[in-house]
Amino acid sequence: MEVEVLFAHNSKLVTKCQLQPNSTVAEVKRQVYSAKKSLNVDRQAIRLSEKGKSLRDSETMQSLSIRDGSKLYVKDLGPQIGWTTVFLAEYAGPLLVYLWIYQRPWIFYGDTRAPIHQTVHIAAACWTFHYAKRLLETIFVHRFSHATMPLRNLFKNCAYYWGFTAYVAYHVNHPLYTSPCTMQVYAALAGFLISELGNFSVHINLRNLRPPGTTVRKIPRPDANPLTALFNFVSCPNYTYEFLSWLSFSLMTQCLPALVFTAAGMYQMTMWALGKHRNYRKEFKEYPKQRKAILPFVL
């Protein structure tokens, strides 16, 4: 069968694809690329209508009710960059920026010889641990469903992470910084470490759901690790643990900028979690109804 592919922004013809009922959206992308070399398959979003939802590569023409003479629309997503590259850049920055400000450079604090509180050292260790963990997970753990993302995300994500790092580090490492009591520091440190371990446990669980080199999607469920039991209550426990890590860091340092960073991150993760939760419920009819998106019993 012959299917016309049009540009989503102006409905001009891109190409006519020769397809079979079992042909996938991925095959449509390949034929579009053959006809227009500037549209690499990674920068294409195929849709049923001009402003419709992007189709998954694995969906077939038959499942989409595409017939001879039907139309599909392609949106150019713009220049792309690999997910791994973006993650490495946005996570390496906070590591370097924080450790630089941790040394109290003259440009920020002038010539100071004020003693450094033990809490400041602990905070630097926690920050380093978190972002070193993220870098290692990016290289050895994460399996991405998409190979690339828009290039503009690199600048947006780096500005967010690097900027907040400088904001938090400046205040925590300031010569006038005052630490909370020892009990509060070590209780919050314990919460931070448990949350980091929980986050890592969930990432390993999610990695094991997707065989290497595939985009297979399954319902995430707890495994033998007790820290993954949070899957019984929320769809995105990795975000839950991430929030708890930064909440613990904020309590440990008793630093308002750290709490602002935590709130901003929680807002963004909530948006992501709600979207993933909706997709899970739509894709899997047997998806557990008792689960919330990010906060057990609440949200």
Name, in order, each residue with C-beta under 8 angstroms of 211's C-beta and a sequence gap of 6 or more.
none
Tokens for 245, please give them.
């890590």
- Mean pLDDT, rounded, for 167-182: 96
Exposure string of 106-119, with b = 16+ CB inside 10 Å and e = fewer, is eebbeeeeeeeeeb
Q: For the chain, first and last CA: distance in Å?
A: 46
Give the pLDDT band of residue 213 (cuts 50, 70, 90): low
* Of 295, 298, 299, the residue nearest 237 (C-alpha): 295
More confident residue, 105 or 186: 186
Check residue 180 and give its pLDDT.
97
Check residue 82 and give its pLDDT.
87
- Mean pLDDT, rounded, for 118-140: 97
Residue count of the chain: 299
Domain spans in the chain, listed from the N-terminal domain onward? 2-78, 81-283
* Of 91, 261, 257, the residue nearest 174 (C-alpha): 257
Name, in order, each residue with C-beta under 8 angstroms of 288's C-beta and a sequence gap of 6 or more.
219, 232
Check residue 145 and give its pLDDT.
67
Is residue 171 packed enough to be buried (19+ CB in 10 Å), middle (13-18) or exposed (0-12)?
A: middle
Phi/psi for 241 (5° steps) reads: -65, -35
**Edge-to-edge strand order for the sheet containing 44-47?**
13-18, 2-7, 71-76, 44-47
* Of 17, 15, 36, the residue nearest 25 (C-alpha): 17
Q: 2-78, which class in CATH? A: alpha beta
Name, in order, each residue with C-beta under 8 angstroms of 147's C-beta and a sequence gap of 6 or more.
42, 82, 83
Residue 33 has pLDDT above 70, yes or no: yes
DSSP secondary structure of 205-250: HHHHHS-TT----------SSGGGGGGGTBS-HHHHHHHHHHHHHH
Q: What confidence tens digit (pLDDT) does each residue in 249-289 have?
A: 999 999 999 999 999 999 999 999 999 999 999 989 999 99
The sign of the dihedral angle between the CA atoms of 92, 95, 99, 105 is positive
- Mean pLDDT, rounded, for 82-87: 88
